[in-house]
Structure 1
């Protein structure tokens, strides 16, 4: 289904949009356009503001037969932050717009890299492990008094010229 053009997307039209935060997952939400924010057509969809204040890009129009019946039987209520939120009931003939959610919505990033059970060739010596953590100590070239690693000295030197 192609993305709707500016000829169709006007205030008062019922649409399915993707919010900025949901772009990676492709999850869509429905609403009625309050304001069109994009001047022309856009390949990812025309940016609009819905009546409840949410902003996103239009992906499709809500079919007129289901939108008129579902919106007429819906009640408006106020959300926790003072925004208007619509609750869709599951009565006869009502259906929610299909939400497309990718697997990346459920993947939790790991805590760290892969753990290595052991290294080939036996244990590494204590001196080899310590060399991984060594860093060079540098003196401040401006005053000659401050000593530290390269990043600390760079920060200190910048303080001389502020």
Structure 2
């Protein structure tokens, strides 16, 4: 089915009709303008935000060892400090500023600075085999009587030795004696 096309003819565009492009804005971090790639060089003192501290914006200071970003970045150039920490540069540190004493050193490094409080849970574990008197290796020796209550374990009256059990005699022959079951079987032998 052929349908008419409702295209409107537009005049051709010329270079004069295009709006001028605005210059690209300089990258900005959370604290304003961040240094560019020409300012951040190995050996320079900088303030960085670690990846873990990005929500809080907490900055630590140090000296740049390596540049990890090739160019400018809106949130700051990623660098590795001489102590191994990695983060994005927020500002250049003052010329005579030493790293802050409130910074927490990365795991596995030793520092002469006072340690900051961390949210680590420390567990103290000991070997229970060292406490043999509290935890014996085998259960104590027990007898069957240990599992009964004390009042049942000792008999209240002695059992007489000459107690006769219920015995019966064979009604047919009169000579066989035994308990009731034995006598009934004996009688069946007489009848078969």
Q: Which is higher, the Rg of structure 1 or of structure 2?
A: 2
| Superposition TM-score, scaled by structure 2 size | 0.37
| Superposition TM-score, scaled by structure 1 size | 0.44
Question: Higher strand proportion, which one?
Answer: 1
